[in-house]
Structure 1
Amino acid sequence: RSAEPTPSGSPSRTPSGPAATSGTPSARPPSRAVPAAAMLQLADLPTGFTRTTNVDGDWSLESVTIYCGNESPSLQVGQVASRSVQFDSPSDWLVQRVTRHSGTSAATVMQRVRQLVTGCEPARPGDSLSVLAESLGGDDALLVGSEIEGTPSRWLFVRRGDLVAQLRVDHQTTPVEARRTASSVADRLCAGTDAC
């Protein structure tokens, strides 16, 4: 008797035995792509946002490392897939990129975010980069803030299993607001990893 398919899309479990454990050549490995369901949805955001198809511009944390006088660590370690989405409102915009990493590289990425922030030596007086809050949700999450040439910015990083989400959020985002957003992000990431 065969097992019923599970509604979550995860592989159904069958009794162990020769038929259940034999790796047939026709069996395809699971997709490493980041599924659309793992991304934030309009329902997760305040009213007034719309989803846009184009994600453009230098919005990521990595883009501000040009203002650091020293070399910054790469956040692409072990990256095997990526998906991005952008949401716009009349007064703001939000961008999310979710990356999948091999092995334990997702945890390494989060360590590197901290190294990038704490190790940055601002090239100009008055510029700053700092971790504003940690332990916000998922397996690991932090809120990063910068002030570059008098312009403040905020990024939220959330890890769940082998997935890391980086979001450009409103420059006035508080740790309390970041915790709410991180919770929604972590819940969505469960659609793309079996770590939940």
Structure 2
Amino acid sequence: MLKASDFPDGFEAVKDDLDGDWALESVAIYCSSEQPSLLEGEVGRRGMVYRSPTEWINQRVTRHSGDDALTVMENVRQFVAGCKMLVPDSSLSILAEDLAGADSVLVAGVIQGIPNRWLFVRQGDLVAQLDLEYQTTGAEARPLAQKVAARLCAGTDAC
């Protein structure tokens, strides 16, 4: 998991449960067809919420059996490509890839006019998903993705 020190000054880790509909898979209710699982073969998870006076970031790290972490990353791409939105002012797109780790994807979304970003980073059998409240570009997400990848390496022998 990331630590508060991985963020700019002012961030603190405030809780380790992730209530709410913040994860990308919660967007599936706005899609016209069923979307692939982003939790394929999940065997464990941890989460954390980080807050500053002006921003918040949710992080969930999941461990997957066999090669299912690879499948999850492919499913992220299929989810974005296959989601035909049912509501106006809504869209999903892949903003950036290969930011860090064995695989990574930055997803941009606008749901009912509200923008969002989700960052996925994989190392070995671990996949981190971060919900970034602020609008960020691939270049801006790269340093955070690199920190996530480094933290994931501590939890897998794939690095």
TM-score by length of 1: 0.79
Paired residues, number? 158
1:104-123 mapped onto 2 (5 Å cutoff): 104-123=67-86
What's the CA shift string for 1:104-143, capped at 9, x where partnerless? 1000000000000000010023310110000111000010
Q: CA deviation at 1:170?
A: 2.9
Structure 2 gaps, min length 5: none
Higher fraction of strand: 2
Q: CA deviation at 1:69?
A: 1.1
Query: Which one-letter code corresponds to 2:6 in the other structure?
Result: D
Deviation >4 Å, runs of 4+: none
Please state whether the residue corresponding to 1:182 is helix, strand or coil: helix
Please state whether the residue corresponding to 2:154 is helix, strand or coil: helix
Please state whether the residue corresponding to 1:125 is helix, strand or coil: coil
What's the CA shift string for 1:39-93, capped at 9, x where partnerless? 0001100111111124321110011111111111111111100000001111110
Q: Root-mean-square deviation (CA), in Å?
A: 0.9
User: Structure 1: how far apart are the matches of 2:89 and 2:132?
Assistant: 22
Whether 1:166 aligns to 2:138 is: no
Structure 1 gaps, min length 5: 1-38
Whether 1:185 aligns to 2:136 is: no
Whether 1:138 aligns to 2:101 is: yes
Whether 1:51 aligns to 2:18 is: no
- Identical pairs, percent: 58
Larger radius of gyration: 1
User: Structure 1: how far apart are the matches of 2:41 and 2:22?
Assistant: 22
Whether 1:99 aligns to 2:86 is: no
Query: Which one-letter code corresponds to 1:167 in the other structure?
Result: L
Q: CA deviation at 1:171?
A: 3.3
Please state whether the residue corresponding to 1:64 is helix, strand or coil: helix
1:3-82 mapped onto 2 (5 Å cutoff): 39-53=1-15, 54-82=17-45
Q: CA deviation at 1:151?
A: 0.3
Range that drifts further, 124-133 or 141-150: 124-133
Query: Which one-letter code corresponds to 1:194 in the other structure?
Result: D
TM-score by length of 2: 0.96
